[in-house]
Every structure is written in C-alpha cells, then in structure tokens.
C-alpha cells in the first residue's frame, strides 16, 4: 500500500515513505537498499495490499536511475492485445483503432525503471516477448519491423507464488529466472502487528486533514482489536477502515464502535449480498429459523454453516431455473462463470457443459 510518512532518513533503520519498524520490515529495508544500488531485476512477492508498489518505488528512488522515469504497468488490468501495445507501443494501422504511432511503456521508461505489477497475469505468448526484452534489451512495436533498444530496469511483482505458476505451466520458467534475480518478500500485515499503531495514527492524521476533522486519539481496546485481526486485505484494508472511522467519528477518538464487524469478530453484515454475490440474506434468516440452532457461543461457525447451506440451495435453484446453463446462472447470481464452476465442484453439483 503506497503511503508516505515525512522526515525519515534513508540511512536509518527505515526507508523514507514507508511506515513500520518491525523486524519483518527491517529485513525488507536492508534488501531494498542493497539491491537499489544495482541494475539487477527484482521480483517483489506479497499479498494484495501489502505494499509491493511502494517498495518498487523506493528501489527506483534510491538507485542511480532516480532521475529517470518510473513507469507503472498493471498487467492484470488489460487484455493480452492491449497489454502488448501498452508495453511495446504500436505503429499506425497495426490494428483497428491504431490511427497514430504510439510509444510503449518500455520505451517511455528508457534510462529509468518499469514496474510490472501482477506479472503472473500475462499470457505465455506475451511472456516470450518480455523474456526477450530482459535478455536482449530490444523489441519491436506492434505492427513494426524496426528494432528498438532500451536501457530499462525491470521490477516485477506478483501476489501469487510464481514457482507454483511455473509448475502449473501458466508461467514460463525461463522468464521466472530472469525476473527472480533478487526476490523481495513483503510480509503480510498479520506478521508485523507491532506496526499497526503507527499505521493507524498515520491514516487518522491523513484523513482527519482531508475531512477537516481531528481524530487523533485511539482507544486502547480499539488498538487491541486491530492487532488481533488477521488483515486479509493487509495495509490497504487498514487504510479503508481508518478512513471509515474518521468519517463516522463524532469526537477525537477512534473507538471500538467505529470498527467494522469483521475486526470485532462478529459476522459481517453484507447489505443484501452474500459472499458468493447472490442476493439472499433473507434466505439466510429462513434457514436459521427452520433448520439450525442459534446458540450465541457458536455464532461465527453458525454463520458459516448457514451461508454454505443457503449458497448451495440458491445455486441449485438458479441452475434449475436456467436449465443447467452455467453462463446464464452465473449472470443471475451476480458472479463470474469460473466462480460458479468452483462452487459447483465444491458442492458436488452437476451442470450442463456449454
């Protein structure tokens, strides 16, 4: 998660712009400083929201390429054809809609750094072209035969284990080794809980200023609850909850009442939409009232059982209504087809092949 705190020294135990002084982050800081002084390719691994882009930015800023451009590309946000044009550029007439020549991101990052986020999302065909850029430092624009040479450092990031992707034959092993010259593993927030108070204080300050409020204190019980939570969304999730707390606060303190149900260990209220995307909170209530004991001590486990039971029954009903056609059923449920297919397997349900 990209968040900055001023007045830090890059020569001290932390790095300017990154909040956290835990032992887990100290190892990241040391490696970041060391690799920044080289031209080696770097592969940053970490869960979504853990701060991979911030580390990539720091590597560039601390390198001898700091005066050059720092170009970011989210590989998971574009289709294969669009991503190829985005990375390498294209010439006029290369495809429908290519009315002008266009410079690609690799060319734009010449003498600087290109950051390829979600590198695991690239297709095998595009990975071949990326491998060539890494090895030969050259490429051609889409629709062109002229070779362009670049001096661009590559930093890639993935929220998946690329070794697993290689074994599953979704990622080229030769590209993996070219990217993985220096790996940096970003610890999830649950592995550096001692950093949470500083992060919360920072976000409260940022959003208090943005909303003309003055939420500067944190109730001890609130900090305890925040440090007990496992943070599946990492720092980005914490930032979201801090912004919400500032928006909802009447006074100058973040209290337990301002924290969401998930942090407090209560079943999360989903506003009419359940985990799988279906609109069936009322059906959850029906199942609770008719089939399952509601002992308060088993509330969390109960909720999971109820959701699973209702989810299965709802999928059965919708699949029957759609004649077993997965695409139609997925649309009606408000989820994508892959999610529906996984649910069908999970609940041992059969469907028509399309």
pLDDT score recorded for residue 32:
96
- Strand stretches in 104-232, DSSP E: 113-117, 138-140, 147-149, 153-158, 182-185, 217-218
**What average pLDDT does the chain have?**
84
The fourth-level CATH superfamily of domain 281-346 is Homeodomain-like (1.10.10.60)
Percent of the chain surpassing pLDDT 90: 61
- pLDDT of the residue at 309: 76
What gap in Å lies between CA 219 and CA 222, rounded to an integer?
A: 5
Characterize 112-130 residue by residue with b for buried, 16 or more Cβ atoms within 10 angstroms of its Cβ, and e for exposed.
bbbbbbbbbbbeeebbebb
Residue 243 and residue 49: Cα distance in Å, rounded? 16
Please give the pLDDT value at position 304: 67
Q: What is the pLDDT of residues 243-281, one digit of tens each?
A: 999 999 999 999 999 999 999 987 665 554 444 444 434
Q: What is the pTM assigned to this prediction?
A: 0.71
| Domain boundaries along the sequence of the chain | 23-187, 192-264, 281-346
17 three-class SS: coil
Evaluate whether the domain defined by 23-187 bears CATH number 3.40.50.1100.
Answer: no
Give the confidence band of 198 by pLDDT, cuts at 50, 70, 90: very high
CA distance 304 to 276: 12
Q: Averaged over 232-237, what is the pLDDT?
A: 95
Same-fold call for 23-187 versus 192-264: no
pLDDT in tens, 104-142: 999 999 999 999 999 999 999 999 999 999 999 999 988
* CATH number assigned to the domain covering 192-264: 1.10.8.60
Phi-psi region of 259 (alpha: psi -120 to 50; beta: other; left: phi over 0): beta
Span of 161-170, 218-227, 322-331 with lowest mean pLDDT: 322-331
């Amino acid at each position: 998660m990209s968040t900055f705190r001023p007045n830090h020294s890059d020569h001290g135990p932390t790095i300017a712009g990154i909040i956290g002084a835990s032992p887990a982050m100290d190892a990241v800081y040391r490696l970041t400083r060391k690799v920044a002084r080289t031209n080696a390719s770097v592969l940053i691994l970490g869960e979504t929201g853990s701060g991979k882009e911030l580390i990539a930015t720091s590597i560039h800023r601390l390198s001898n390429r700091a005066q050059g451009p720092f170009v970011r590309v989210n590989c998971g946000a574009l289709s294969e054809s669009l991503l190829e044009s985005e990375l390498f550029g294209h010439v006029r007439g290369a495809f429908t809609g290519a009315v002008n020549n266009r410079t690609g991101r690799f060319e734009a990052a010449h003498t600087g750094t290109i950051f390829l986020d979600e590198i695991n999302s690239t297709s095998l065909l595009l990975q071949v072209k990326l491998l060539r850029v890494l090895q030969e430092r050259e490429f051609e624009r889409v629709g062109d035969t002229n070779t362009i040479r670049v001096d661009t450092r590559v930093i890639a990031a993935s929220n998946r284990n690329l070794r697993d992707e290689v074994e599953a034959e979704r990622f080229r092993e030769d590209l993996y080794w070219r990217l993985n010259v220096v790996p940096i593993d970003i610890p999830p927030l649950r592995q550096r809980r001692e950093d949470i108070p500083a992060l919360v204080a920072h976000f409260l300050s940022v959003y208090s200023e943005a909303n003309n409020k003055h939420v500067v204190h944190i109730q001890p019980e609130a900090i305890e609850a925040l440090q007990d939570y496992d943070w599946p969304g990492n720092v980005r999730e914490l930032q979201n909850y801090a912004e919400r707390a500032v928006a909802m606060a009447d006074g100058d303190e973040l209290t337990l009442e301002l924290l969401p149900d998930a942090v407090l260990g209560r079943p999360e209220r989903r506003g009419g939409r359940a985990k799988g995307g279906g609109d069936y909170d009322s059906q959850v209530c029906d199942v609770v009232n008719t089939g399952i004991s509601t002992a308060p001590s088993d509330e969390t486990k109960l909720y999971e059982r109820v959701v699973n039971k209702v989810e299965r029954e709802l999928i059965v009903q919708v699949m029957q209504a759609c004649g077993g056609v997965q695409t139609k059923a997925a649309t009606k449920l408000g989820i994508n087809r892959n999610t529906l297919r996984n649910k069908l397997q999970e609940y041992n349900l059969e469907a028509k092949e399309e």
